Amino acid sequence: MENILRINLSAEGGPKTSLEPIGKYAGLGGRGLTSCIVADEVDPLCAPLGAANKLVFAPGLLSATPATTSSRLSVGCKSPLTGGIKESNAGGQPATVLAKLNYAAIILEGRTPGTDLWKIIIGADGVSFEKCNELRGLGNYDTVAKLVEQHGEENAFMTIGQAGEMKLGAASIACTDRELRPTRHLGRGGVGAVMGSKNIKAFVLKEKDARYAKAKDPVKFKAASLAFAEGLKRHAVTGQGLPAYGTNVLTNVLNEAGAYPTNNFHTGQFAGASKISGETLAALETERGGEATHGCQKGCVIQCSGIFHDKDGKYLTKQPEYETVWAHGGNCGIDDLDAIALLDRMDDDFGLDTIETGVTIGVAMEAGLIKFGDAQGAIRLVKEIGAGTPLGKILGSGAGVTGKVFGVERVPVVKNQALPAYDPRGVQGIGVTYATTTQGADHTAGYAIATNILKVGGFVDPLGTAGQVELSRNLQIATAAVDSTGLCLFIAFPILDQPDTFQSLLDLLNSFYGLNLTGDDVTALGKKVLKAERDFNTRAGFGPAQDRLPEFFQKEKLAPHNVTFNVTNEDLDTVFNF
Contact present, 236 and 244 (Cβ < 8 Å): no
- Residue 122 φ/ψ, nearest 5 degrees: -125, 125
Residue 550 has a CB neighbour count (10 Å cut-off) of 21
pLDDT tens per residue, range 533-569: 999 999 999 999 999 999 999 999 999 999 999 999 9
Give the mean pLDDT of the chain.
97
How remote is the C-alpha of 457 from its chain's centroid?
23
Please give the pLDDT value at position 1.
73
The C-alpha R_g of the chain, in whole angstroms, comes to: 22
Q: What residues contact 14, with CB distance under 8 A and at least 6 apart?
A: 112, 129
User: Comparing C-alpha atoms, which of 2, 32, 45 is closest to residue 20?
Assistant: 2
User: Comparing C-alpha atoms, which of 575, 561, 578, 569 is closest to residue 267?
Assistant: 561
Please give the pLDDT value at position 547.
98
- Edge-first strand order for the sheet with 3-8 is 16-21, 3-8, 103-109, 55-59, 73-78, 85-90
pLDDT tens per residue, range 219-232: 999 999 999 999 99
98: Cα within 13 Å, side-chain hemisphere: 36
Three-state DSSP string of 515-534? CCCCHHHHHHHHHHHHHHHH
CA angle 455–459–465, rounded 5-degree value: 130
pLDDT tens per residue, range 425-454: 999 999 999 999 999 999 999 999 999 999
Please give the pLDDT value at position 299.
87
pLDDT tens per residue, range 344-391: 999 999 999 999 999 999 999 999 999 999 999 999 999 999 999 999
- What is the Cα–Cα distance from 519 to 501, expressed in whole angstroms? 12
Amino acid residing at 311:
K
Task: Give the global pTM.
Answer: 0.97
- What is the Cα–Cα distance from 382 to 117, expressed in whole angstroms? 24
Strands 16-21 and 85-90: unpaired
- Residue 339 φ/ψ, nearest 5 degrees: -65, -40
pLDDT confidence bin for 298, thresholds 50/70/90: confident
Q: What are the chain's domains?
A: 3-206 (3.60.9.10), 256-421 (1.10.569.10)
pLDDT tens per residue, range 106-143: 999 999 999 999 999 999 999 999 999 999 999 999 99
Contact present, 116 and 200 (Cβ < 8 Å): no
- Residue 8 φ/ψ, nearest 5 degrees: -90, 105
- What is the Cα–Cα distance from 205 to 182, expressed in whole angstroms? 14
- What is the Cα–Cα distance from 446 to 429, expressed in whole angstroms? 9
Residue % of the chain over a pLDDT of 90: 99
- What is the Cα–Cα distance from 372 to 368, expressed in whole angstroms? 9
